[in-house]
Amino acid sequence: MTLIQTVILGAVAGFTIYLGLPVGRIKGLSEKARSFLSMTSTGILIFLFFDIFSHLAEPIEGALGQANLGEFFVFLVIFIAGLSIGLLGLIVFEKRFIRFRADASQVLTPTRLALLIASGIGLHNFSEGLAIGQSAGRGEIALAAILIIGFGLHNATEGFGIVGPLMGKERPSWGFLGLAGLIGGGPTFVGTLVGYYFVSTAMSILFLALAAGALIYIIGELFRMNWQSATKLQASAGLLVGFLFAFLTELVLVYAGA
């Protein structure tokens, strides 16, 4: 597969995230409906968090299982550093640049939270792009095609995860949706380019750990916004639906052999 073909298909896989974003422009939702939809996005992100950790554990446990202690400790340090930076770095960024005019105890606005979600998803999608680029660069065309189709389908659900906090609260502009999609889906495209020429296990662990750390913070903020006594039933239902929906999407990838 040529570089041009890989770049085009990597862009398709990344920017299917735009398929789910327009849902955020739905108007007239009740508080219970909004809580249900917002927590649906939380369910998707929780599944994504566990999916990330399953991929993170493989190379670390593999190095330990082979008694390669040097490589194991390197991978472990990278994982701890990435997780810490992803979580604590996002908190510092949010306090310094997002809440710099607000009380530190104030809940993030839905728009700002949506951008943070897009950032966390973007870190994860960069690692997906690495996998696509690596497969294409090695000439494994069938595997690359499966990854592109599977990740493209999965990214479409992530678009809904980004706009979940906005549902019924703020109606995002098309420009905002365009920016959110670029932040969340663009790294898939960039990762494809990097992976085509260069990929390493250490880099993959770093970006997955960064994404995991970011998702811990984001999921906490979503619970903070929606886990209220008046809407707890709807929030719980949304959480379940989102998690199951993401799980079923993942099963499509497994069935396809990705």
Contacts of 199 (CB under 8 A, 6+ apart): 130, 133, 134, 137
Q: What pLDDT is recorded for position 148?
A: 67
Q: Does 156 map to a domain?
A: yes
Q: Does 24 map to a domain?
A: no
Q: What pLDDT is recorded for position 77?
A: 95
Q: Does 23 map to a domain?
A: no
Q: Other CB atoms closer than 10 Å to residue 123's CB: what's the count?
A: 25
Contact 135, 144 (CB under 8 A): yes
Write the single-letter amino acid at 38. S
Terminal Cα-to-Cα distance of the chain (whole angstroms):
18
Q: Does 15 map to a domain?
A: no
Q: What pLDDT is recorded for position 165?
A: 75
Spell out the per-residue pLDDT of the chain, length 258, in tens. 677 877 787 788 788 888 878 877 777 667 787 788 778 878 888 887 888 788 888 899 999 988 889 999 999 999 999 899 888 876 776 666 555 444 545 556 778 888 888 887 887 788 778 767 776 766 656 556 656 665 676 677 677 778 877 776 778 888 999 999 999 889 888 888 888 887 678 887 887 888 788 788 778 877 877 788 888 898 899 899 989 988 887 787 677 655
Q: What pLDDT is recorded for position 100?
A: 46
Contacts of 66 (CB under 8 A, 6+ apart): none
Domain that holds residue 116: 3-7+36-256
Q: Does 179 map to a domain?
A: yes
The backbone torsions φ and ψ at residue 219, rounded to the nearest 5 degrees and listed phi first, read -60, -40
Q: What pLDDT is recorded for position 239?
A: 92
- The predicted model scores a pTM of 0.68
Q: What pLDDT is recorded for position 86?
A: 81
Domains in the chain: how many in total? 1
Q: Does 66 map to a domain?
A: yes
Q: Does 222 map to a domain?
A: yes
Q: Does 81 map to a domain?
A: yes
Rg (CA), the chain: 18
